[in-house]
């Protein structure tokens, strides 16, 4: 897996990624959905490429999403602000 770019802007993020197969892209998406600090994840269209003379393919795509503070940390922050 190769991350070409990662941009974080406030509460949003975007990544440009290349992986060896569509199944790897799906696994990555599922893993990102499990990260506590990620609120939502959207995947753009997949582009499958075979290099000339190569037998393997690569899959390139973009991911965008929102960042979130996990509920337990948000409650901790709120409790610290009240005191």
- Please write the tens of the pLDDT for every residue from 29-73: 999 989 988 999 999 889 999 877 777 889 999 999 999 876 665
More confident residue, 71 or 25: 25
DSSP SS3 for 10: coil
Candidates 14, 35, 36, 12; CA nearest to 4 is: 14
More confident residue, 73 or 4: 4
Query: 44-51: long-range contacts (C-beta < 8 A, 24 or more apart)?
Result: 46/22, 48/22
pTM for the structure as a whole: 0.72
**CA-to-CA distance for 33 and 27, rounded, in angstroms?**
10
Per-residue burial over 54-63, b if 16 or more Cβ lie within 10 Å, else e, is eeeebbbbbb
């Amino acid at each position: 897996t190769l991350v070409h770019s990662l941009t974080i802007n406030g509460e949003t993020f975007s990544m440009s990624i290349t992986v060896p197969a569509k199944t790897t892209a799906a696994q990555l998406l599922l893993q990102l959905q499990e990260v506590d600090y990620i609120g939502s994840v959207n995947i753009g269209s997949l582009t499958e490429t075979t290099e000339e003379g190569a037998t393997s393919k690569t899959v390139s795509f973009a991911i965008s999403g929102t960042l979130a503070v996990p509920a337990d940390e948000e409650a901790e922050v709120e409790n610290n602000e009240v005191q």
